[in-house]
Amino acid sequence: MKVVGGLDSRVMRSLRELLLSPGALTLAYVAGRRKPYIGPFQLFLLANVVFFIVQSLTHTRVFSSSLDSHLHHQDWSALAGQLVAERLNALHTTLAEFAPLFDRAVVLNAKALIVLMVAPLALMLPLVFPRHRRPLSVHAVFALHFYAFALLLFSVGLGAALIDQLLGGGGLASAQVDKVVTGVMLVACAVYAYLGAGRVYPGHAALRAVQATVVAVIVGAVILGYRFAIFLITLYTT
């Protein structure tokens, strides 16, 4: 019981620092103050579990899309159509037979491979903050903490959309609600990056504001790229 209680206190302390003191967990980890908190990867996994539970409750998909969506509603739909046609021909099957298999596999792949989103941000951070010669491990820890926050933020956004739906609104199916939720989350990510960078990559406030915006844009691009990568992985492994 003492071990469980200690773990619970470390989890709550880590979540409090993550949400209320951006960048503080990264600095604590780098300085060797690790015992009071759970590790960055553990925290990322915890946020991942929370996110996918909320996503399943709201019957939405943030990081994966159905085959029909890839074929008709994505920026890469024209390319997806060509690739799917070639894959169906190679497998000697039909779209009607392949689509259900793809739709089940893409959800599992999106969950299992979500950590792949961390690497591009970690590799881009030295370019965004070139004056700070931090080791790559520091960038990786900051990226893990940032995505842990982002996943919890997505969970809140999905919850807000669900509440709107329960109150008679359209939820994320409504273009207006979707734009509001997306806009709020992007702004929140930029603000979090600004505050976190103030601790991990201190510098002039105006420059940091630009850098934080760049980080938010990178995260948005990585999420979009992740959806396409999951499409390719699922297409050629199903």
Cβ contact 117:223 at 8 Å: yes
User: 54, 50, 36, 73: which is closest to 158 by C-alpha?
Assistant: 54
Q: What is the structure's pLDDT at 171?
A: 62
| Residue 63 included in any domain | yes
| Residue 20 included in any domain | no
Q: What is the structure's pLDDT at 69?
A: 85
| Residue 213 included in any domain | yes
| Residue 189 included in any domain | yes
Q: What is the structure's pLDDT at 5?
A: 53
| Residue 92 included in any domain | yes
| Residue 34 included in any domain | no
For the chain, where are the alpha helices, taking DSSP H only? 2-20, 24-30, 40-58, 67-72, 77-91, 95-112, 118-128, 136-166, 175-200, 205-237
Q: What is the structure's pLDDT at 225?
A: 87
| Residue 215 included in any domain | yes
Task: Tell me the DSSP string of 57-83.
Answer: HHT--SS---HHHHHHSSTTHHHHHHH
Q: Round to whole Å and give the CA distance between 153 and 189.
A: 8
Q: Round to whole Å and give the CA distance between 23 and 159.
A: 25
Q: What is the dihedral of CA 92, 94, 100, 105, to 10 degrees?
A: 30
Query: Whole domain around residue 54: which residue ranges?
Result: 40-237
Q: What is the structure's pLDDT at 177?
A: 61
> pLDDT tens track of the chain, all 238 residues?
444 455 678 889 999 999 999 999 999 998 888 888 999 999 999 999 998 888 888 777 777 788 988 898 788 899 999 999 999 999 999 999 999 999 999 988 988 888 888 999 999 999 999 888 888 899 999 999 999 999 999 888 888 777 777 777 666 555 566 667 777 878 888 899 999 999 999 888 899 999 988 998 888 888 888 889 999 999 999 8
Q: What is the structure's pLDDT at 179?
A: 67
Q: What is the structure's pLDDT at 2?
A: 43
Q: Token pair for residue 8?
A: 């619970």
Domain count, the chain: 1
Q: Round to whole Å and give the CA distance between 28 and 66.
A: 41
Cα dist. 130→27, 136, 139 in Å? 18, 12, 12
Q: Round to whole Å and give the CA distance between 172 and 126.
A: 35
| Residue 230 included in any domain | yes
Q: Round to whole Å and give the CA distance between 162 and 235.
A: 30
